[in-house]
Chain A
Amino acid sequence: MWGGPLPEMMSTTGVLLVLVGAGTLVLGTGLAWLTTANQFPGRRIFTWALMLPLAMPAYILGFVFLAILDFAGPVQTALRSGFGPEVWFPDVSSTVGVAIVMSLSLYPYVYILARAALREQTPATYEAARMLGDNRMAALRRVVLPMARPSLAAGIVLVMMETLTDFATVQYFNVQTVSVGIYQVWRGMFDRETAVELAALVLFIALFIIGLERLLRGPARFHQRGAPRDIERVPLRGWKAVVAVSICGSVLAAAIVVPLVQLLYWLWASPAVVTDMTRAFEFLSNSLGMAVAAAFGCVFFAMLAAGGARFSGSTLVRRAAHLVTVGYAVPGPVVAIGVLVMIGWVSGAAGSNPAGIVLLSLTGLVYAYIVRFMALGYGSVDASMEKITPSTVDAAHTLGAGPPRVMRQIYFPMAGAGAAAGAVLVAIDVLKELPIVLLIRPFGFTTASVWVWELASESRWAAAAVPALLIVLTAMIPIAIYLGRERRRPGSAVALGARVATWVEAAVE
């Protein structure tokens, strides 16, 4: 293993990380600047619509892309019938192909953070630069981008972590990354030792990426006073407006509109795929069961950690509470391998009762999800507990309430909204999640995401449309909720951006 395919896997992983990092940086930052600093028809709609691709996991976007652009797909077929059988078309199943798909699916992370940075930090300094003689582009280059650098770095780290975690999308495209290696070694060869070694390698790459963030971020985070607002938008007219609309429109089309239309078309064109409803129901309820269990677990432990950190007043406890978020920075396959090794110890001690093994695997799966997604629950709970002022708690204490009662009557009720939001975030991520469930699931246990992957891997694209649509539509729920809140109270994008940045920060510490 180490001598054979590994060096190539390493270099492929490296190239993919760089390409996706660069792709999301250009897309995310460019679109954020376009929609924040310029005025053109449809800008308001694009501003929020450009966040929607967040709901389209790369492993769904990937197979739709393949289906459309493959040799047998509609695009190449049309080209051949127009220009003859020898017409040239780039090889879609390549590292560049995956990089494009992943960039389209992951750029919203950078977009949201860049937008928040532009609105939150720079308007006053941007104006100061203009007053000192910079034109728009010079101010962008000399002030706006350097100040947004920490946010952009955080966004790219999130993107790279997701890229590193993925091994489904890359497999459709026949691209061998280290994460693919982990899966093949564990599931295909049952070679535990090598899988653990590869997982350690992936963890090492993750640490390297975090180190990279430190480097990219530059010397400091910059906090500016003042309410978030847009910098003065310049009206684009004529061909410039056309270009702006086309850029936003084509990104949206490629990242979400065309894939959604294609999925719906499959559903409409081959209704036979819907017939197998019993299996669909089983897989979906498996997904929901996992999502609910993980969401409940995350929020419960987040409440304990965040509440405990507030109570004890000890720095050590507070640090330990923050530690629960570290899992967010550990790639999925690494968490999975770690849990699998633990399951191995326990099952070795418990003997080999088949029902026991299934139960153990499912428990391990939920445990892995909690480790991986705890940061989402903790972030939401902690943010809402932040609103509980020390004097509220002091007031309760002076009225004779001890810590348990304060916890029960003050913290839990007041953190309720945050807990609900955190639970939804965790549930959605579990529903979309693929690497961990693929590795840990007991034999015969299939979720909606696994189902998509199995069908798509066999190129049964039309059949995969049903679960894929279910996943995409469910994933849109939190985005819709969040966008609704943004409309009522502009500036929550900043809050979300800040929260994502905090997760990264917490995970990095």
Chain B
Amino acid sequence: MGIVKTSSSRRLVVRGVTKDFEGERVLRGVDLTVDRGSSVTLLGPSGCGKTTLLRAIAGLERPDAGTISLGGKTLTNGETFVAPERRHIGMVFQDWALFPHLDVATNVAYGLPKSTENRGAVVEETLEMVGLSGFGRRMPSTLSGGEQQRVAIARAIAPRPDALLLDEPFSNLDAGLRAIVRSDTRALLRELEMTTLFVTHDQGEAFVLGDEVAVMKDGVIRQQAPPGVLYSAPIDPWVAAFVGEANLLLANAEGRTAHTVLGSIPLADQAFGKHTVLLRPEQIYLAPGSEGQVKSVEFYGHDCSYRVDVDGTEIIVRSIAAPVFARGDHVSLSYQGPEAVSYPTAEAESNPS
């Protein structure tokens, strides 16, 4: 494919950014770092401020305070504000925002500097990267959703921006197509070594797309970590439940052991007194027994999910393959995961769902 690697990709740093909208604080001191050439997904429920943060980085919104810098160059702080067209940041919009009056090639060429030599070659090469060779003369309105989406990406990467922002770029695609376009896009951006920030509210998508995932709630980043760390060691119960199904069990901790309705669970860190322990559903195994009773069974094909009542506490259990137990069956439960994380109970929050 002859992909030209981006030498211009840069490190994006956000520090203490705040933004008010009509008296309401949407961003409350956001810290975020995207290392040069890496990919971070910004994950959060709708209304948490993630799109506002993206637009502030793009220069489409003016933060009230805080600094944003790219490759060491300040884009925004108290005094300076670099106009969006001078930031050299690419952006893929949720609705793609293609220029409907221009054909595909002209759309893709739009951001190339006037001095660019061989504009046609650059455009054709970029279209080839996204798998749209020969589409240059088509008008956007004649393309399918997936094709329009790829044109939007081609248009954003053609000028080789220092960083690329994508605002829920796949949300307008149907499920089957989304998975394909998503992994293609991920592979392409990784090959280009593009500094990339995705915004999504879909946990699965965040884990697939990001080298790191930054979880945002109420205008702050709660935790930024690689997907594996985020899943196994979330910083608080809210994050734990937001990034995946979670059993948050009340426990009495004594050092490296916590006593729960499922018996003693080994802890990763020392704790004492009332705590909440995180057990993922796939870490719990069922066997015939008498500790609990199956309340419901959902079969998804590749796996299935049980809800089991244990002394009044509902435990979610996920197991590979078809269901073995039926509603009403009596079962015993055993925890077979690594040392679990726990949170002092005072910190416990309501479940995000």
- Residues of A at the B interface (CB closer than 8 Å) are 124-125, 127-135, 138, 142-143, 146-147, 149, 218-220, 222, 224-226, 232
Contacts and interface: CB of A to CB of B under 8 A. Distances in A.
Contact of A130 (B61, B85, B156): B85
Contacts of B45: none
7 contacts: A127-B60, A132-B85, A133-B85, A134-B85, A138-B85, A222-B100, A232-B60
Contact of A219 (B59, B89, B101): B101
A216 to B, nearest CB: 13
B60 A130 contact: yes
Nearest to B114: A133
B325 interface: no
B84 to A, nearest CB: 4
A221 to B, nearest CB: 9
B195 to A, nearest CB: 15
B101 A133 contact: no
Contacts of A149: 101
Contacts of B83: 130, 135
Contacts of A138: 85
A494 B7 CA distance: 45
Given A125-B99, A147-B100, A219-B101, A130 B93 contact: no
B101 A222 contact: yes
B101 A218 contact: yes
Given A128-B97, A220-B100, A220-B141, A133 B60 contact: no
A220 B139 CA distance: 10
A135 B85 contact: yes
A131 B89 contact: yes
Interface residues of B, number: 29
A124 B95 contact: yes
A146 B86 CA distance: 23
B101 A147 contact: yes
Contacts of B99: 125, 128-129, 143, 146-147
B88 to A, nearest CB: 8
A128 B83 CA distance: 13
A490 B93 CA distance: 24
B141 A132 contact: no
Nearest to A143: B99
A404 to B, nearest CB: 42
A131 B85 contact: yes
Contacts of A134: 85
Q: Which 6 residue pairs spanning A and B have beta carbons closest together?
A: A132-B111, A124-B97, A128-B97, A222-B100, A130-B84, A131-B91
Given A131-B111, A219-B101, A224-B100, 13 more contacts: A124-B95, A124-B97, A128-B91, A128-B93, A128-B98, A128-B155, A130-B60, A131-B58, A131-B85, A131-B91, A133-B159, A143-B99, A225-B95
A233 to B, nearest CB: 11
Interface string B83-119: 1111111110101011111100000001101000000
Contacts of A146: 99, 101-102
A226 B51 CA distance: 15
A226 B95 contact: yes
Given A129-B110, A130-B85, A131-B58, A224 B101 contact: no
A131 B95 contact: no
Given A134-B85, A135-B85, A124 B101 contact: no
Nearest to B83: A135
B168 to A, nearest CB: 13
A219 B103 CA distance: 12
Nearest to A222: B100
A385 B208 CA distance: 47
Contacts of B84: 127, 130-131
A142 B99 CA distance: 10
B101 A132 contact: no
Contacts of A133: 85-86, 88, 111, 113, 159
